Structure 1
Amino acid sequence: MLYGARNSDVAREYGSDVEALLLNYVTYGVAEGRATSGFDALIYGASNIDLAQGYGSNAHALTLHYLDHGADEGRATSGFNALVYGATYVDLAKGYGSDAHALLLHYLDHGADEGRVTKGFDSVAYLLTYADLGAANLGANWALTHWLDHGADEGRIGDAAFGREQSDQVLGLADGVQSGTLTTSDRDWYALKTRANQTLTLELNGALSDGTLQVFDVNGHLLRSTTAAPGAAQAALSFTATGQEAYVVVSGPTAGDFVLQVHAGDWWL
């Protein structure tokens, strides 16, 4: 059955008919170099909340569902990230750490029924919150693992300093302008595509009084930082990029709207 589940066109044609699947593989699949493995029934279930709620971690039932229904319905067979799921909840991070299989089973057998979401933790925000993570050159992916295996148990605040309300985290090359609103003591971050040794200038304007502007490399090292003069709502800094991407952080002690702009020389990115 895994042969059928691994090949969606075969699944749509033959469903869970084992004899038909075997005949197809012998007659056509071998010569066509068809894959016979690679379908993960548990990931399939976790990627579809109704299946997680209906079948839990019953891999056999999930495989049959895909063969007889899921392929025809165009169901996703991937997309669930167990580590992100675990990191989104402090109790799961403390209870399971970075054990991806245990977190996958938890979602299938409990989390889906409990109404838990599968995404939400911001590993970049966690990285940029703690200087020691940047000093260790963790980057966002390893910062996620650090939170699961150490940070939650150490009582760290995770991504809470940035909140989870920010919807757009790209400072695009097309117009080089981002606008946003900070709540009191909030922080926002933006990914900025750069070139190594490229000098860029960032400008912060708006109604955000005493705003702070920071630039980090992708490993979390602080490159430059500046704060607007007391009572002022404008700040600017220039920095030299160290790689192909940087993180720009806007923060402030008070709430307010802001506009963030970036340019290199006379050209707005």
Structure 2
Amino acid sequence: MTRTFFVGGNWKCNSTVKSITELCASWKESTDNGAKYSGKPVEIVIAPPSIYAQTAKDALPANFQVSLQDCYSSTGAFTGEIAADMIVDMGIPWVITGHSERRTIFKETDEVVATKTAYAISKGLSVIACIGELLEEREAGKTLEVNERQLSAIAATVTDWSKVVIAYEPVWAIGTGKVATPEQAQEVHAALRAWLSTNVNPEVAESTRIIYGGSVKPANANELAGQADIDGFLVGGASLKPDFISVIDSYAV
């Protein structure tokens, strides 16, 4: 089975109307003047701050989709939250759940992430579900234990795997300039696919996209993209720059 390459851009708590307009204009110019986007397909999803979602939706190239960076698992008296229902109502097809910054800064547990993921899927959203280990967990030899625990919580709630992209993001490599070597990333991706095969079923393991996130940039994207079980990227800071197009183009390697 061929898995469509997936490139996500997470803008986190960055951007202005002006910067979004200028960035998207540069991407449109690139796509009009030689960005590859031919042959093998690629799916591109950008996650702006929620207040700028419509701005981004209006400004992005036509083949880019929009995601929100998080959602809540209910409507009601939850000041400041944005429910999955509302994301659907705005015509946005994707949401990120379980990003390491939600897990570490906002103390979201595996169970909270799983609940959000299940609720988002139940409302019709597709989900970029993030997992990943801390530096001390990697150094303690717990990389697979941590990632399999986080994935297990999510898997226990998923009813439609066609709606899920798994993002492996080692926390020690996010925004640090460090990056897992292609071999390190491939090892974890292969282990996660094997876990899905054993604990869900082989068909889900083969069809589910597992993408890498952690200081991905044009200089390392092609080598990472060439690994058998790396199906794309979730990119932070580099997705705020015009040359993010080069990361997208890595799908063609």
* TM-score between both structures, scaled by the size of structure 2: 0.24
- CA radius of gyration, larger in: 1
- Which structure has greater helix proportion? 2
TM-score normalised over the length of structure 1: 0.23
Where relative contact order (Cα < 8 A, 6+ residues apart) is larger, the structure is 2
